[in-house]
Amino acid sequence: MDILQTILNAQDGGAVRQLGSRFGLPPEKTQSALSALVPALAAGLQRNIGGEGGMQGLLSALTSGGHDRYLEDPTTLADPSTTQDGNGILGHLFGSKDVSRQVAQRASDTTGIGADTLKKMLPLVAAMVMGGLARNTNAADSDVVVPEKAGGIMAMLTPLLDRNRDGSMMDDIIGMAGSFLGRRPNP
């Protein structure tokens, strides 16, 4: 199951309802926001995983961060510490508040939801993404070797990153990165 579906299905949609109620959005608008924001977060994860020590760092965060609580108990999304945790995640994924603002603006352009709302929602969505990864990779199971966990993480991210369904997510990641930075990739 990909990461977006994991989030949408968590607690029979409870995480989506909780997130939506926090921002005054109906379920369909909340799902639209998630559909616009999660791929950008997945691209940030993919970029970080590709860096030196990136996969090990992600696995460490998944095993020690307790992120699965965000999907297991959606009421945690109302806790200010979740926003703090999400902002820390965004810092690792995007490296800059400017990128977060650009992600929110692009999501606003496609969803019709205000960029300010999406900017406030983004840390919670980042926490939910980490929760979905922790939940589906069984990161707490120390008997599972790193390559198996890495395969589970990639299986969850690939459907979101291979937007044109050509079997390669690299062209899509380069395009997303370029659009966040205001540039188009060279042909």
Residue ranges per structural domain of the chain: 3-180
Complete DSSP assignment for 42-103: HHHHHHHHHSTTHHHHHHHHHHHS-TTHHHHSGGGGGSHHHHHHHHHHHHHHHSSHHHHHHH
Give tens-digit pLDDT for 35-51.
999 999 988 888 887 77
pLDDT at 47: 82
Which residue numbers in the chain have pLDDT < 50? 139-151, 161-162, 169-170, 173-174, 176-177, 179-181, 183-187
Is there a contact between 31 and 16 (Cβ–Cβ < 8 Å)?
yes
Please tell me the pTM assigned to this model: 0.75
Is there a contact between 151 and 55 (Cβ–Cβ < 8 Å)?
no
